[in-house]
Structure 1
Amino acid sequence: MKKHIVIIGSGPAGLSSALYSIRGGHTVSLLTGNNFGGQLSSITDLGNYPGVENVSSGVELAKIMRKQSEDLGTKFITDSMTKIEQLDGVFKVFLADDSFLKCDSVILAMGVLPRKLGLADEENLTGRGISYCSVCDGFFYQKKPVAVIGGGNSAISDALYLSRQCSQVYIVIRKSHWAKNVEQILIDKVDNTKNIKVLFETSPHNFLKDENGIVGLSIKDNRNNSIEDLQVDGIFVAIGHIPNTENVKKFIDCDEDGFIKTVIGSTQTDKNGIFCAGDIRSKTYAQVIIACGLGAQSAIECDEFLQTL
């Protein structure tokens, strides 16, 4: 008998689980949230994702994945989940307007949110010179100097992408070295890009602004505490992510950092009938291909659960 599955999240995990669920013969509704594509929307280089040589960006891949499951009948809903309730074996997934979807099973794939710097005026200056997405906002800084804050793969990828549009790109890194998981191929590209300058052992101190927004970034040398001002028009923050689990923390068991706990080797949460896939799953490597695999696994395990009803 056909069952109804609600998938929350439209990143690679959510899109993969939708495809597998609809092919499994179920009715599938997917809540896209405010950012269709999730982390895919901020990826400029899919070089470590096999078999997509002719796909130029994460946005393009997300559109292809959506079409695959939408053509088979997946219903995409541009809305977000506010809470989940369960009564007599039926789940209610509440939306922003307090309406709800009834379903037999839920797959959580809300992804992660960018970690903020925590400096004064950061919220007020977001969209006025501060950004967390180079793909989304890089266009606005063509032929202008910008700074990227962070020392991981995401920060380097952002810097390389921006270097093709911006006059100068500064990478502000708190430590004396790149993050341990940084790919050497990316480091080599940075070293060979003339308009990228790497500032090791420096930290953002405060934002320089006028009535229109950002006009620069004050940075601190962590070796001697001296302060220097960078004249930049844009600041791109790439210092990691936090799980987008605020609306389920009271309902689903999460770890101390807010990531959702699952049964070892499974995507099953502590609530029977609710599964979890992608970057919000505790102790998961944040890679597109892994998120896709977990999305497929969650759909298969969800189907096995539904067969018992």
Structure 2
Amino acid sequence: MAETHRTKMLILGSGPAGLSAAIYAARAGMEPIVVQGMEPGGQLTTTTEVENYPGFAELIQGPWLMEQMQKQAENCGAKMIWDHISEVDLSQRPFRMKGDSGDEYVGDVLVIATGAQARWLGIESETALRGKGLSACATCDGFFFRGKKVAVIGGGNTAVEEALYLTNHSDDVTLIHRRDELRAEKILQERLFAHPNITVLWDKTVDKFVGEGDPEGLVAIDLKDTKTGEITQIPAEGGFVAIGHDPATALFKGHLELDSDNYIKVEPGSTRTSVPGVFACGDVMDKIYRQAVTAAGTGCMAALDAEKFFAETEFEQG
């Protein structure tokens, strides 16, 4: 039998943003329900080594960190439900959602923390070497490739920024682009071309990521020339796919204001969306930083914004 779950604060998503919101909401007596989504724990559950999350002197594991966040939220009083929201009605409060399970979720305020996913190339060797020399975030993982030869795949702002960032750790960075010119902003291109430690390979696509060793790790990349079809190989111990991210916002099109890249628009300096009582945090609204610690920070902000909104509307209603 389908159930109806009612709460003062409904939170969609269980990554660092959603769980941080849950911790703050539970401590404020909001009795939050967290609908965990298709990937409980978010992107960190697919990340092995985490070295840049504050508070841990030693390297930690991504899945362990998310497990601890969830336990903390539950200990504070948050309720976790494994389900995926497939329908939303934001036309009036309380907001109503329907899950794939058939259950209905009703919340006086809503916090959206559904995150974003890095785009991948979609080739078989890529899946096998993720986390084994292959990454979609130079800021997250570049430190692990100090002094090693690394390659970045892409041609937009993200790819150029990642290539420039990686020069902090490597003096041998290669940018691989499928066309003969970049899409990145002119100022970024100028910085890239002026850097002595970056080489650009034009008209190349990745044919295969090559792994060796036990445990297996990336050692080379096979490239296909887009004009001649010729296959060449370059050595690389680190590979970074930087072809963009897709925020999980399809569900909210027509309900909330989105920007040109489909991220949820929020008021500057807050987590307030275009619908009063609906708040967004983490990678679903942040296309610049995309870090676990910034997601957690905006999760805190969303809970505080939502709790304040709830208190004010309750007072106004008498």
Instruction: Give TM-score scaled by structure 1 length.
Output: 0.72
In structure 2, how many angstroms separate the alpha carbons of the residues matched to 1:149 and 1:225?
28
- 249-258 or 237-246, larger mean C-alpha shift: 237-246
Give CA deviations for 1:16-43 in whole Å, capped at 9, x if unaligned: 1010001110111112222222232244
**Contact 1:130/1:237 (<8 A) preserved:** no
Aligned counterpart, 1:212: none
Matched, 1:201 2:200: yes
Output aligned runs, 1:17-166, within 5 Å. 17-86=21-90, 88-117=92-121, 122=122, 125=123, 128-131=124-127, 134-135=130-131, 138=132, 148=134, 152-153=138-139, 156=142, 160=145
Per the alignment, residue 220 of structure 1 pairs with: 225
Query: How far apart in 1 are the matches of 2:277 and 2:17?
Result: 17
Aligned residues: percent identity? 28
Residues 183/41 of structure 1: CA separation in 2 closer, same or farther (3 Å cut): farther
Matched position secondary structure for 2:279:
strand
- Structure 1: how far apart are the matches of 2:300 and 2:129? 27
Identify the residue that residue 11 of structure 1 maps to in structure 2. Answer: 15
Equivalent residues of 2:49, 2:59 under 8 A apart = no
1:71 is paired with a residue whose SS is helix
Match of 2:151 among 171, 190, 204: 171
Matched pairs, number: 270
Matched with 1:257 is 261
Quote how far apart the aligned CAs of 1:130 are. 3.2
SS in 1 for 2:32: strand
Report the residue type matching 1:275 in the other structure.
Answer: F
Per-residue CA deviation, residues 55-79 of structure 1 (Å, 9 max, x unaligned), is 5132222111111111122111222
Establish whether residue 305 from structure 1 lines up as the match of residue 301 from structure 2. no
How far 1:172 moved relative to its partner?
4.8
1:156-181 residue CA offsets vs partner (Å, 9 max, x unmatched) = 46x849x9xxxx98735456x97335
Q: Distance in 2 between matches of 1:6 and 1:133?
A: 37
Residues 81 and 169 of structure 1, relative CA distance in 2, 3 Å threshold:
farther
Helix, strand or coil: the match of 2:299? helix
Residue 201 of structure 1: how far off its partner (Å): 2.5
Following superposition, the deviation at residue 100 of structure 1 comes to: 1.5
The one-letter code of the counterpart of 1:153 is T
Report the structure, 1 or 2, having the larger helix content.
Answer: 2
Cα distance, 1:283 vs structure 2: 5.6
1:267 aligned onto 2:267: no
- Contact 1:152 1:239 (8 Å CA) reproduced: no
SS of corresponding position for 2:71: helix
Q: 1:143 maps to which residue?
A: none
Report if the CA contact (8 A) 2:83-2:101 is conserved: no
- What is the CA deviation profile of residues 185-219 of structure 1, one whole-angstrom value per residue up to 9, with x for unaligned ones? x545445xxxx98564336536469xxxxxx8443
Structure 1 residue identity aligned to 2:54: P
The RMSD of aligned alpha carbons is: 3.9
Counterpart of 2:225, as a letter, is K
Contact 1:3 1:306 in 2 (8 A): no
Gaps of 5+ in 2: 1-5, 176-198, 210-220
How many Å apart are 1:101 and its aligned residue? 0.8
